[in-house]
Structure 1
Amino acid sequence: MKGKVAVMSEPGKLSFAEYRLPEPGPGAILVKVVRTNVCGSELHIWLGHHPTKKSGVLGHEMVGEIAVLGEGVTTDYAGNPVKVGDRVAAAYFITCRKCAPCQQGQMNLCENAYTHWVKDPEEAPHFHGSFGTHYYLPPDQYFYKVPENVPDSAAASANCALSQVYFGIDKTGVRFGDTVVVQGAGGLGLNACAVAKEYGATVICIDGITSRLEKAKQFGADHVIHMGEYDTMEKRAKAVKELTGSKGADVCMELTGVPAALNEGVNLLRYGGKYISIGNISPGQMASFDPGLMTRKSLTIYSYMRYEPWYLNKALHFISNTISKYPFDEMLDAEFDLEEVDIALDKSSTREITRASIIANR
């Protein structure tokens, strides 16, 4: 049997290639892709902003069915028994456990994380990304069984957006009673609203698109600030102060990918506040910044790249436990066939749609 993958030859140019389905080696599995999403990371690559990834098989945010189990694979990475046909979600990176960051317990910073990601499809086993009919998961790529009550549309978002903000919020130490400002109501922002709300925070979400802010309310935002109405940083900072008894936010999360958001976030925080930067991942994009204000306020800035892979399991169970509270299955607002990947990428990059999903095997 053969399968198909979407291949970016250079930023903005896409084609498709077919290959015979590989037989997974020991410790590996072959997954049939059910649904895969366009994530902000894909957009950075598609637009040519990624520092190293300029070509290869795209896609990483997905849910799929186990097609073939390699020798020795009997459970997922949480010890749950698995069989052919089970739905799984996988972290999009590996943890080698041998490099310097891994040896320091910082597995989210593994130096070999992208060994198998966005590679040339001519290199076996060919199916290096989730923008295809199948996805090959080598050993050391954590995967987890999807809880039965979690629909495909929700599970597909767990392995990047939700796991990432869950990791950031947990590691930063968001506490009950905190006020958390979420900059951006895209995939990261919506998930962050829900997680922060479940941690007991009061959530304020800032965005410039009305439909996104309406969705943020459904995901737990107590207050929203529209950048069209509050059209300067000063106005938005004043609005946050009014909502926090003049003190400012305890925590602010940059989830936009817009460099200027960092300086604005500093202005939204209280003295002694915490800033979480996750959205800006493309080096070389500069913005003005007020370091004196940061110091005067004694702020702590946290930046997070990837997540500890077991947070994917936490994310799947977060969805399972809160599925009746938040419309995870409605987060995706546009569906495309596999052959329409380029259209999905273009419409996502212009913000014509919030979250694009690709049905790989109709």
Structure 2
Amino acid sequence: MNDEPLATGRLAYMSEPGKLAYSDYPLPAPEAGAVLVEVVRANVCGSELHIWNGRHPTKKRGGLGHEMVARVLALGEGRTTDNRGEPLTIGDRVVYTYFQTCQRCAQCLGGQYNLCDNAYEFFAKQPDEPPHFHAGFATHYYVHPLQNIYKVPDSLSDSVAAGANCALSQVIYGIDQIDVRYGETVLVQGAGGLGLCAVAVARERGARVIVVDGVPARLAQAAAFGADHLLDISEVPSVEARAERVRELTRGRGADVAIEVAGVPAAFAEGLELLRRGGRYLVMGNLSPGATVPFDPGFVTRKALTLRHVDRYEARYLWQALTFLVEHGADYPFEDLGDAEFAFDEIEEALDRSLKRDVTRAAIRIHDSRAQSK
């Protein structure tokens, strides 16, 4: 364990929806099994936008940011390896889950680790609660003993590694749950970070991919990621017309699988229309409380649809995401997934521009990964 006195870190937090502030706190020495890291880069994920605009189901204030890459600054007693058993040393680049798997709640004991009742025990804390650094928009982060942490392979850049948690991990986990098969047609609703990752993963499973979005820049990125067909909702404005277009692309049937990562309630009802009879629907983007849309349950029954809603992912999938990037990352423009970079004091601008969809994936530059701070 590193017993040298540690300096002060700085973090950004939301005092109320739409209002950002910064605070400084002394850096904590990590407890046994914990790791203190220095954040190199953090992304603005869709979940941050739900929090920022006040539509998150539980989080109304506090730290922001959960998709990041960092380097090890201090190791708690007994922490010598990552969760694969790879040696961890000061200065190593790492990614880690933004949640924990407590291993004691009813969900964990039942094997549903992604639904851990205590997953956000620390992410939910306010900045003034030790160890203070609970979120990614900060100079440092405290990785608790029950959070999975993995060394980043040398072949992956900071910008690519930062997206492993949570976008790519979430998508790989979700696609496993809905069992995408070779030769199927997968329709992706939303070409943000999760949607683009879904295009890449589905293509590697041997699927043909249709992407639906309304922002030209996002559709252009979907094409770069290999989407076979694009549906621009501004050019095909009605649900009926989009359903007809999907049928034209699928020999009159509809998509085998639809993946909702748009975060727009109306997209859910539309997805039901775009699926073939017996199709499967993976829903991951909608989490805002109180937003409802009308749909006909009998229609779902008559089409014999399978609906699978997925919340978070199992922690081991973070390593699967890194492996996917090592094996397939060069085949897709993951380096270009973040289309705008902001300094640490520009986080509010990054959030606002992301909310307006001026950018697909904003990144916050916090530290230089090439040299460890003293």
Same-fold status (TM-score > 0.5) = yes
In structure 2, list runs of 5 or more residues that go unmatched.
1-6, 369-374
Instruction: Decide which of 178, 187, 210 is 1:172's aligned counterpart.
Output: 178
1:118 Cα shift?
Answer: 3.9
CA contact (8 A) 2:341 2:363 kept: yes
The aligned counterpart of 2:371 is none
The aligned counterpart of 2:199 is 193
Alignment of 1:255-294 (within 5 A): 255-294=261-300
CA distance in 2, matches of 1:125, 1:287: 41
1:220 Cα shift?
Answer: 2.2
SS at match of 2:58: coil
The aligned counterpart of 1:329 is 335
CA distance in 1, matches of 2:185, 2:57: 34
Instruction: Decide which of 38, 50, 69 is 2:56's aligned counterpart.
Output: 50
1:65 Cα shift?
Answer: 0.4
Summarize deviations over 1:134-182 as a string: whole Å, max 9, x none: 0111110111111111111011111111111110001211110110000
The aligned counterpart of 1:319 is 325
CA contact (8 A) 1:262 1:289 kept: no
The aligned counterpart of 2:19 is 13
1:119 Cα shift?
Answer: 1.9
CA distance in 2, matches of 1:50, 1:214: 29
Give the counterpart letter for 1:83 in structure 2: T
1:194 Cα shift?
Answer: 0.2
CA distance in 2, matches of 1:15, 1:263: 38
CA contact (8 A) 2:57 2:287 kept: no
When the two structures are aligned, how many residues end up with a matched partner? 362
CA distance in 1, matches of 2:330, 2:129: 43
CA distance in 1, matches of 2:111, 2:223: 36
Give the counterpart letter for 1:8 in structure 2: M
CA distance in 2, matches of 1:203, 1:7: 38
CA contact (8 A) 1:165 1:188 kept: yes
Q: Please state if 1:301 is matched with 2:301.
A: no
1:361 Cα shift?
Answer: 2.2
SS at match of 2:341: strand
CA distance in 1, matches of 2:67, 2:166: 6
The aligned counterpart of 2:65 is 59
Alignment of 1:75-114 (within 5 A): 75-114=81-120
Give the counterpart letter for 2:298 in structure 1: G
The aligned counterpart of 1:350 is 356
Summarize deviations over 1:57-80 as a string: whole Å, max 9, x none: 111100000111111111111111
CA distance in 2, matches of 1:111, 1:89: 22
CA contact (8 A) 2:264 2:286 kept: yes
**Where in structure 1 do 4 or more consecutive aligned residues deviate above 6 Å?**
none
1:282 Cα shift?
Answer: 1.3
Q: Please state if 1:212 is matched with 2:218.
A: yes
CA distance in 1, matches of 2:102, 2:134: 17
CA contact (8 A) 1:55 1:119 kept: no
CA distance in 2, matches of 1:304, 1:80: 30
SS at match of 1:239: helix
The aligned counterpart of 2:161 is 155
1:232 Cα shift?
Answer: 0.6
The aligned counterpart of 1:238 is 244
Q: TM-score, structure 2 length as denominator?
A: 0.95
Summarize deviations over 1:248-267 as a string: whole Å, max 9, x none: 11000000000111111011
In structure 1, list runs of 5 or more residues that go unmatched.
none
The aligned counterpart of 1:248 is 254
CA contact (8 A) 2:209 2:227 kept: yes
CA distance in 2, matches of 1:295, 1:140: 41
The aligned counterpart of 2:372 is none
RMSD, aligned α-carbons: 0.8
1:288 Cα shift?
Answer: 1.6
1:229 Cα shift?
Answer: 1.1
SS at match of 2:265: coil
SS at match of 1:323: helix
SS at match of 2:14: strand
The aligned counterpart of 1:74 is 80
Give the counterpart letter for 2:28 in structure 1: P
CA distance in 1, matches of 2:13, 2:194: 25
Q: Please state if 1:339 is matched with 2:350.
A: no
Q: Which moved more, 1:288-297 or 1:200-209?
A: 288-297
Q: TM-score, structure 1 length as denominator?
A: 0.99
Q: Please state if 1:22 is matched with 2:35.
A: no
SS at match of 2:142: strand
Give the counterpart letter for 1:166 in structure 2: I
Summarize deviations over 1:256-309 as a string: whole Å, max 9, x none: 000111111011111100000000011211112122211110000000000001
CA contact (8 A) 1:58 1:118 kept: no
CA contact (8 A) 1:276 1:303 kept: yes
CA contact (8 A) 2:262 2:286 kept: yes
Instruction: Report percent identity of matched pairs.
Output: 56
The aligned counterpart of 2:125 is 119
The aligned counterpart of 2:135 is 129
